[in-house]
Chains A and B, each alone.
Chain A
């Protein structure tokens, strides 16, 4: 079976004012792959996800989903696809934020159902069924009518994962999904992500949880100063004798 490329990022560059956050970073993700991005704060991890999810415009490089060009600088200047094409491309991916970003004025159920209905994927009844199925799977069916303000952080993050999954994305991005949670609640969210990995959901995960990254990832990327310092399978990377990498991993594992 040939590998099908879902995400293709080539040589992206991104600066905020004078500060160059990403310098020529490339990343390819095939269907079913789980890629973790680790690295110190300010290394550009989140910026990669924000560029990939079109929340941030990149200064240079190419971004493709399933071979379709979302943005490219091959003509010499940075060109983004037109609005309709980008709308279509957005359907390919989902994003789970560090701070959940649920809609506080909607119930858990409406948070999940409305985006599906607005996207035109299916009617309200079917979207509701889909949402309830996901909530059940994540152990949250009793919270369907609750407002996000009444949930714990771990529950909020699981709802936000359900909301992303309901859109049936081809690839799911996680931007430090457990960084806003205390250690006790972190486990319940990581468990969900692990179960998705077991089903071969294509995922890119920015995380500080080294043990988790090691267990769940097919490939780990270590990012530093806006560049890929090293990458490999999690066995390769975690067994590496690179001094800088070991220093970083060691520091986090001691926590």
Chain B
């Protein structure tokens, strides 16, 4: 296979990788916030259930979770999910990353002094006004470096979708490598991931600087 054709094939795979990346962020970031709020709930049952969910998500391999999300509906309920491979991947990635993001949100929320809540309460802010106007903007600034870390890990984790034979970049690179008996495609894939992360780090750095106004 010529180098040009290989690049085009890998680039197509990269589009899928970027899709997995963006959709996971889109779902996991807000879901993580909801999970964090549940984790800090005064209701013991809610917080215990959420704690258990976080423990499972962090304590088992994402690769295993991908397989479970895709195949278990068939083995347990007889639903054939063939054709729903991509949605299954997005679901597995989202619920896994939401667990990690939740713990990051929680650390940020707990880092904002309680006195900020009290000041807002005395000034007549409602609970939701306090959370979204006073607490969250401060949380975002605190947690951004941790979010950047997690986001960079996500770029590389998209390669795990190969386990469900999703045609993302890593899967394609491996196929070409096997066919041509060459490590070239894998090296090129490595460069792609590196550049992807370089861009992610650059964007996050810009956001961090922008939030550095106080």
Contacts and interface: CB of A to CB of B under 8 A. Distances in A.
A111 B134 CA distance: 10
Interface in B91-147: 113, 115-116, 118-125, 129, 133-134, 137-138, 141
A167 B118 contact: no
Interface string A118-144: 110000000000000000000000000
A99 B214 contact: no
B123 A53 contact: no
B137 A90 contact: no
Contacts of B134: 103
A118 B121 contact: no
B77 interface: no
A102 B120 CA distance: 9
B136 to A, nearest CB: 10
B213 interface: yes
Contacts of A115: 123-125
A105 B119 contact: no
B119 A53 contact: no
B124 A87 contact: yes
Interface in A27-60: 53-55
A65 interface: no
* Interface residues of chain A: helix, strand, loop or mixed (majority): loop
B116 A103 contact: yes
A11 interface: no
B141 A99 contact: no
Contacts of A55: 118, 121-122
Nearest to B118: A55
B138 A104 contact: yes
Interface residues of B, number: 19
Contacts of B214: 104-105, 147-149
What's the dominant secondary structure at chain B's contact region?
helix
Nearest to A53: B122
A94 B141 contact: no
B116 A118 contact: no
A50 to B, nearest CB: 9
B213 A101 contact: no
A158 interface: no
Nearest to A107: B214
A29 B175 CA distance: 82
Contact of B125 (A54, A94, A105, A118): A118
A13 interface: no
Interface in A160-185: 163, 167
Question: Which one of B116, B119, B120, B121 has the highest number of Cβ atoms from chain A below 10 Å of its Cβ?
Answer: B119
A-B CB proximity, top 6 nearest: A101-B119, A115-B123, A147-B214, A95-B122, A101-B115, A105-B137
Interface of A: 53-55, 87, 90-91, 93-95, 97, 99, 101-105, 114-115, 118-119, 147-149, 163, 167
Interface of B: 113, 115-116, 118-125, 129, 133-134, 137-138, 141, 213-214
23 contacts: A55-B121, A55-B122, A93-B122, A94-B122, A95-B122, A97-B118, A101-B113, A101-B115, A101-B116, A102-B119, A103-B119, A103-B120, A104-B138, A105-B137, A105-B214, A115-B125, A118-B124, A119-B124, A147-B213, A148-B214, A163-B123, A167-B123, A167-B124
